Every structure is written in structure tokens, then in C-alpha cells.
A and B are shown apart, each in its own frame.
Chain A
Amino acid sequence: MNLVDAILQSVTQLPPFPAVIQRVLELVENPKTSAHDVVEVIQYDQAVTANVLMVCNSAYFGLRKPVHSLTDALVRIGFNTLVEIILTRGTAFLFYQSCQGYQLQKGELWRHSVACAILSQILAERVRHKKSAVQFTATLLHDVGKIVLSGFVKDHFEQIHGLVQEKNLSFLEAERETLGIDHAELGGRIAEGWKFPRNIIAGIRYHHTPFLAEEFQDLVSLAYLCDVVALMTGIGGGADGLSYRGYKDIMEQYDLKEKDLEAVISELDTGMKKVEGMLNIQ
């Protein structure tokens, strides 16, 4: 078996994606979805419901009276925030693990993923003047390929690191050169296997190469920007560091200047505090 086949084969060792969260992804992607549809789907899952209520009742939200039901939570914190909490908590089981190939300790990949998702909302408001649950989701899940590729990166680290240092390749290009596949492409394959909506698959697959996306250009470009901004801050930063390409075309597409990125970064801590409670759970 060649290396790419072995990597694709190992995808089958990933735990199944929870059906409830899968259903929420589909709902979020459908513009006709109402808030009550989401409540309807998750209310029968006790673990998810309990988690959501626990987060709603954490210090950050400062609610005077505790929230006791999902409908109650919906009224008090709003639809977007509710969805964000469901997805962030619901995917933690995947992202919370350590990734040795990238030298990320337990919880660091999740921190990075959550920081990107928060940035997606700050950036979406800045460039589109509205938040988007689909953007949040695609950005949150963008690095799913790293979870599987990590073991292979670890085994071939010297070679990948050497290509980055000596040939000035990005870490992504060095992964592809060494292993035959990179974490973004692999993430796209994983998302396909889980039957995610097509726009979310594209967000994952092209988050380092947004100009290759044939559709969902806007979603993909913003996911890319969120990732590079999070990498710059160092949140959940690993052995791949900042060895990824900065594309000025994407900045120009949104008419953003470096000062705008600085303003976005200065807003990040508020969002991170909101999820701090969640980051320390598990």
C-alpha cells in the first residue's frame, strides 16, 4: 500500500461524526431553518443539551436567572450564539486531542479552531456586515485533516521540516511533497465521507488555497483569512508555525489593509473569554 492509501485508510479510525451535530450542520446551511428546528433536533440528546445549558449558565453570559431549557436558552442568548455553542461543544471530542506531528498538546488544536471560528464572526461583520453560522462552522472545522495527518507528519517530520527550511516551501506544500497529500485536502475528503454540506467541504479543502475553489469563493476566502490571522496570533500554534502563504489578492478582494487585521486581532480576546469556560471543559 502506498503512503496516500495508508493515510486515506486511517481516516476510518476516526470516531463517527455525531448524528445530532451532523443534522445541525444541515439545518444551519438551509436558509429556511428556524431556531425552533434546531431546538427540536437537539432536545432529545441529553448530553448535548446538558452541555449547552452548562455553557449558557457560565459566568460569561452573566444571566441573572439560570437557563433551564433549550427554548429558554434560545430566547435569552439568541439563535446565532446557541448554534455556536452547540457546534463548538459538539465537535470538541474531535479537536480536543493532542496532535503530536504538529507538536500540539491536548486542547491546543481546539483553541486554534475556536479562535478561527470567533475571528470568522468578527471578520464577517466587518466585510459583510452580518454574522454567518455557515461561515462559523466551516471555519471551526477547517483543520479536521490535521487530526488524521498528525501521525504521518510525526513520522516524516524531519523531511517536511527540511523542505520548509531549505526549499522555502510552505508547511502545506511540504506535506504534499512528502506524504502525497496535505491536511487541507485530507480534511476535504474526511468531510465528504461524513457527508457534510458542499460549502463546508469547500471551506475545509481550500482553506490554504482559496483561489482553487470553483464555488463558495467568499466562504473559502474568509476561512483562509481567519486561519492566517489566528496563526499570526500564535493561539494553538504548533510546529508548522506561520509557514503558510499570505495572499494579498484575498486582502484586496475584501479591501482590507494590514491595519484592519490589527483591529480584528484586538477584538479577539472578548470572544475568547466567552468560550474560555468551554475551553477548560473535558
Chain B
Amino acid sequence: MSETLVILIVIFVLAMFVGFEVITKVPSLLHTPLMSGSNAISGITIIGAMIVAGAGETLVQQIFGVAALALAMINIVGGYMVTDRMLQMFKGKKGEPKK
């Protein structure tokens, strides 16, 4: 196992712990927006998709790259927009007009 891989694994494990710490504090009230919001965040694969689409030397790489880019972007735009749509419905005080 190379040193780079070890570093990557270290980063992965530590990030998981950060994730556990932060997400445990999200109340069940907001679990649906949490899931759609984390869908959007998992669209981070777009970084890989951009590299493959933009720097691919063969047609196969380019096609796969553009398809991956489109899927990741659906996650990002769809995820953030639908999360915002949900969150703006959560109102604290009664009788507040609906936007």
C-alpha cells in the first residue's frame, strides 16, 4: 500500500467522524431536507466528471464524462433547490403568511 493511499484513507476516516458528529445533531424534524441536501453534496462527484469530460482523450471518456457531469449536476441543482423549497415551508410561528 502506497503512502498516498494511506493519507487518503486517513482523510476519509476522519471526515466520517466529522460527519457523525455534525449529523447526529440534526433533529428528526429536518431529516428529509438533510437527505435531499446531502444528495446535493454527493454531487461533488462533479469534480471527477469535469476532469473526465474536459480532459478525456477518447470519445468513450468524453461521452462518459458528459453523462457523469449531467447526472452530478442534476444532484446538485435538484438537491439544493428542492431542499430550499422544503426549508422555506418550515415556519415557527403560527399564522405567518405562506410565501
Binding partners A and B: no
Listed in ascending order, the chain B residues whose CB lies under 8 Å from chain A are none
